[in-house]
Chains A and B, each alone.
Chain A
Amino acid sequence: MQAAIEINELTKDYYLGFWRKRPRRALDGLTLTIEEGEVFGFLGPNGAGKTTTLKLLMGLIFPTSGGARILGRQIEDVSMHHDVGYLPEQPYFYDYLTARELLDYFARFFRLSAEERRRRIGSLLDLVGLSSAADVQLRRYSKGMLQRIGVAQAILHQPRVVFLDEPMSGLDPVGRREVRDIILDLKRQGRTVFFSTHILPDAEMLCDRVAVLVGGKLQGVGSPEQIVSIEVESLEVLFELPAGSALPPALEAAATQTGARYRIQVPEAQLYGVLEGLRAARARIISVSQLKPTLEDFFLRLVSGEQRRHAVEISGGGL
């Protein structure tokens, strides 16, 4: 079965300096496969190469080496765009057009009848909550409104694969919820969604799989749980000390105090040693709970370089 997106050793160098001598490698040998129907999150800090990847896939810039296929067709094949939708980062559209006119203009590039166009534009404007502003020129639109119309134009032609670059940016919580719902809806329809984001809780919630990109290199691919399970699990002990009792000196540094309660994080291996110390101090144990690490923790640690050595491709779905 053909994959939705196949990326193979995709590399992009930028030449800096007047004589173009020093190349900066924005993307280094990215290899990735995404199946149809997946919701795939593309994570990474600023400058990691996420937007570069998306631009390469959409044919806006050209790879230095390597290639990719979308729905079995090479990225140079523009006809493939019939089945692909794209929301650019910080979208900007023709400000002399109204939202309705813009959607109508873009719709004309697909084989749709006038009736069909009108119907879809109407329902899309409803979906992204812009019906009331449909006939206002885009130059009057706020960033959030532009973001919404951007999403609308990306899915207007009901593409099989949708690329979204930072779809949540510029949106208030209500807007973010709406986009989340749209993505889930797309998934329900069996479409493939590939999006990049900073907002990790969203990625955790929405994605079947995620990939993490740092400095142009792929750091890890897998489902959110798989990724975070790389984290060493730790436990959190909540306790109180009786009046007059002091904190065992070994724990003083690690414990945080809120009112009468203390909280301490303990790696699993050291749990019983700590509990012993607390019992000796006649602490009253309130709870011992497993700390579920978040993608964000993983992410922050990864970016700061500590987890580099744990970067492993876990998922078996790639080539």
Chain B
Amino acid sequence: MNFELDTEQDLLRKTTRDLLSGVYDAETRNAITATDRGWNPEVWRQFAELGLLGLPFPEEHGGMGAGPVETMAVMTEIGRALAPEPLLDAVYTPGGLVAEVGSDEQRAAILPRVAEGELLLAFAHDEPGSRWPFTDVRTAATRSGDVWTLTGRKNPVLHGDCADTFVVSATLPEGGTGLFLVDAAAEGLTRTAYRTHDERRGAQLALEGVTAEPLGASDVADATDAIVAAQVRAQAALCAEAVGAMQETLRLTTEYLKQRTQFGAPIARFQALTHRAADMYVLLELATSLSLYATMALSDGIVDPTVASRAKLQVGRSARSIGQEAIQMHGGIGMTAEYPVGHYVSRLTAIEHTLGSTEDHLRVLAGAVTEHERVDVTGN
């Protein structure tokens, strides 16, 4: 039993942290997120140089062949810095599907370019009105000879505004859900880009008979398991990002309590505040524990949606409370766009609503309470 990063993993964490802390202060971040793209191509280039864009991909395709622990280490730093670069949405999740499901040719054609920062992907799966766990895909795939076409709507497609290639889920003629590659410039594809409340970007896709290339060998197969696995990995990564964001949110709050003076004393003298800060610390540690759990399970080769739901439930509860308390304890300054804490809270709220809200996960877990006598960590 070991909860520590090894030397190389710790170096990766530190390198990522140094890079981001060198780039992003609150002012720079606000300036970058106000641009059309919303993130910094120069930082993206540096990610590519460091190998972060190919981190989880096989070495034969320009990647680093790293595992879930490395992804967690990087995502925690993304969260801490509130870096807007779409590492998860444009690289890890859709690229992971290409690595998992794609043919050798597709992997060779796509992954090295993603790792080099030349190609942006996005995973178009959710549909208007869908709630996690979302299985009832309405976007339909039809085949005419060797040509596949897709028709339907996808929303939200996170960071779909800038993607060059989409990985799109669609219902297969014989049932099941297949995955397809769709070029962003394909005829019949309408992309409506938008901003999200956490200063990120997204898009809705309308597909009307869009030509698509099946992901994988020529036989189109049901990819439901691969989609579930990709979501479990993405949920673990989001939990890690949230932990980084909560660490920084708590740090900002405790610093503020020490520095802000009212009634002739630093407000850190008031137990009404310090005891609540202690509760924030407790919630952060509980969330950290379950984030580690989700990552370590993946690292042990266990891809289990229940584990991901457990992590997402605790992280969601912690994020909600830490976020609200952080703004409250800052007072008015916490409400301003100039100050970072509100932006962290916005991001934490967005993470809560991505890949299943806190209550979506609780609902799933509640439905399964009779399936075990008790919950055990290390297996019996």
A in complex with B: no
Q: Write the residues of chain B forming the contact surface with A, with a CB cutoff of 8 angstroms.
A: none
Q: Write the residues of chain A forming the contact surface with B, with a CB cutoff of 8 angstroms.
A: none
